[in-house]
Structure 1
Amino acid sequence: MAKEYKIFISHSWQHSDTLEALRDLINARSHFSATYEESTKDKPINSESESYVKTRLAQKIGNSNIVLALAGVYASHSSWIEWELNKAIDLSIPIVGVVPRGQERISTIVSSRSIIDVRWNTESIISAIRAYAN
């Protein structure tokens, strides 16, 4: 039986279409199984308490085999993405940066924390997950 990977995708809610596109790309790959741990606009952590949100996110990151970080330059302006990546490092969860389609520049918030940064290509992304996931 093939391994099922638990993936946390660190993303900006303002760019949730990129999150969905990445999930679609991964899900379309045959002979690869993934579940997702991140919170989304459709399934948010409903709380005004930053402490509670961080606790829930830490649990989700800790339950993951790998964190994929969308490495668009917008990531450099998100304190939540930076916090999620730092938490992944604290929890020894490997981080792979994924450069959104068409982006030339990438966020140093992501690239300084990732094991590797890959382009928007199914095989590159799947290969990185298989190579680096816990």
Structure 2
Amino acid sequence: MERRPARGHRNIPHTADVRIEAWAPDREGCVAEAVAALVDTFVDVAGAGPAGETEFRVPPGADPDLLVGVLDEVIFRLDTEAVLPLATEVRPADDGGLVVRWRTTGTDEVELVGAVPKAVSLHELCFGPDRDGWACAVTLDV
């Protein structure tokens, strides 16, 4: 069996929805990879440059709740501001939550290549440490 890279993400075939997996050496890196995986499911960002920066906080909670909070924010910003993250930095907040910083671009700067996610499903959500660091698997409702 081939060893996966230290950090990455992929889309997995799933009936009627989209399933993503992400992994990294640490929790925050895994969240950042999950954001990239979500964006990759429906747009091609090649050639898009950052047009802005956004920072937000996710309140303290269980690790799966933190992941869902960040992914929900991607969908919310897409719906309300027509922006998407091109690069994601995640760090732990002093209160146990997360601080997330995105370099963003407008949806008019990217090419649509798949169904736009509408929500993060809690069904079969996985997020936690594994033998190589941290990993997650998430289903996106489209």
Q: TM-score, normalised by structure 2?
A: 0.23
Highest RCO, 1 vs 2 (Cα 8 Å, sep ≥ 6):
2
- Answer 1 or 2: which has greater strand percent: 2
Q: TM-score, normalised by structure 1?
A: 0.23
